[in-house]
Amino acid sequence: MGDLLRLRGPLACIVGARPNYMKMAPLVRAFAARSDLPGVVLIHTGQHYDVAMNERLFADLALPTPDLNLQVGSGSHALQTAEIMLRFEPVMDQYAPSCVIVVGDVNSTLACSLVASKRGTPIVHVEAGLRSFDRSMPEEINRVLTDQIADVLYTTERAAADNLAREGIAPSRVRFVGNVMIDSLLNHVGHAIPPLDTLLRAGFGAQFLADPAGFGVVTLHRPSNVDRADALRESLVVLRDVSARLPLVWPIHPRTQRNIERFGLSSLLTGARIALLAPQGYLETLGLLSNARVALTDSGGIQEETTALAVPCLTMRENTERPVTVEQGTNTLVGRDRDRVLSCLDEILESGGKRGRVPELWDGRAAERIAADLSRWLAERQRDAELVQA
């Protein structure tokens, strides 16, 4: 009977860090809309904790307050991952979930998956199969390992299935459903906050956005770009030189802010046309992105959001785990190569740059498809368990 009861347990939905929230919000809504699915418990690991990185996004996305916050906070990868595991294990006893639903590739994704796997609770991974093939990225390790132990893998682009097959994952576990992050984008872009409001609220004058060329948006936080002084210096030089041609708005991640100060690099930005802002809410970010001439980023999500918005994106990395944004979308990989960035920028300013098209199934209905499939899958498991009991 224990197994049968567990199959009726809630869906344990895990969030930990900022990029998880826009993926989980449409899922929680789609799960709640189906009476044939168990209820949801929303568990926040506390990997991100600042109001700017958290509460504001929860409010913008209409995400319910988590049922539980494990409050792990920051630390080394080992410490953070281990601490999440220790704190999540008793939660599994408390809720006896029918499955654990994880999104993306942050430390919280892997840590909760490991706990669930060792307790025999099924894992559902949303945004599975993305690969940068760069194992120096902490996210790549989180992706590969989570996918190995996940029972159901929902993918955002077709190439993901090939990556998973190559790693020996049975195709029967993999479903191509589209992109839940784009569900959130399409849901909220109509309510995006105009860039001028965001700039004025941050204390900048209207003249900052008065350049006829428009403005660019920057986000930068990957360890490979910001954790070493030489790499961060190169990144800042690129941004400074771009800003001579196009004013830039940069909501700065706390990791990057801290490292600019720690490495004594602030002077590189003196006099540059760069509006440094605190981390912004979701609606402010959508307002900035959808009105930008170009985005310069090393984020995964922004490569996808700019493709969906048809805004050119220059990705300051040597690789991407999201090849569809390059092959079909508006994304170009530029690394920290100053000349390459400036020549791509010139092309964007002259001719608009890559226009691209919206990839297959990025249509705002991925979460609905996942909810329907999950309902079928759980019902099948229930039937199988009843047959075994009979």
* One-character DSSP codes across 259-300: HHHHTT-GGGGTTSSEEEEPPP-HHHHHHHHHH-SEEEE--H
Question: Which strand (E) or helix (H) includes residue 124?
Answer: strand 123-128
**Cα–Cα distance measured from residue 158 to residue 123, given in angstroms and rounded to the nearest whole number:** 21
Q: Which is nearer to ligand UD1, 127 or 183 (CB)?
A: 127
**Cα–Cα distance measured from residue 282 to residue 63, given in angstroms and rounded to the nearest whole number:** 12
Q: Which is nearer to ligand UD1, 80 or 330 (CB)?
A: 80
CB of 298 to ligand UD1, least distance (A): 9
Q: Which is nearer to ligand UD1, 81 or 307 (CB)?
A: 81
Question: Which strand (E) or helix (H) includes residue 302?
Answer: helix 300-309
Active site residue 48: no
Q: Which is nearer to ligand UD1, 48 or 56 (CB)?
A: 48
Q: Which is nearer to ligand UD1, 183 or 298 (CB)?
A: 298
Q: How far is CA 49 from the centre of its chain?
A: 16
CB of 385 to ligand UD1, least distance (A): 34
Residue 174 dihedral angles phi and psi, to the nearest 5°: -110, 135
Q: Which is nearer to ligand UD1, 97 or 251 (CB)?
A: 251
Beta-bridge partners for 274: 248
Of 44, 48, 125, 221, the active-site residue reads 221
CB of 8 to ligand UD1, least distance (A): 32
Among residues 331, 283, 263, the alpha carbon closest in space to that of 184 is found at 283
CA angle at 315 for the pair 291 and 165, rounded to the nearest 5°: 115
**Cα–Cα distance measured from residue 202 to residue 360, given in angstroms and rounded to the nearest whole number:** 37
For residues 374 and 152, the answer to whether their CB atoms sit within 8 Å is: yes
**Cα–Cα distance measured from residue 247 to residue 255, given in angstroms and rounded to the nearest whole number:** 23
CB of 212 to ligand UD1, least distance (A): 33
Q: Inter-axis angle of helices 300-309 and 18-32, to 10 degrees?
A: 60
Summarize as ranges the residues that interact with ligand UD1 (CB under 6 A). 17-19, 47-50, 53, 74, 106-107, 138-139, 221, 253-255, 258
Dihedral (CA of 335, 308, 345, 283) sign: negative
Q: What is the residue type of 21? A: Y
CB of 17 to ligand UD1, least distance (A): 4
CB of 108 to ligand UD1, least distance (A): 7
Q: Inter-axis angle of helices 180-188 and 366-389, to 10 degrees?
A: 140
What residues act catalytically?
221
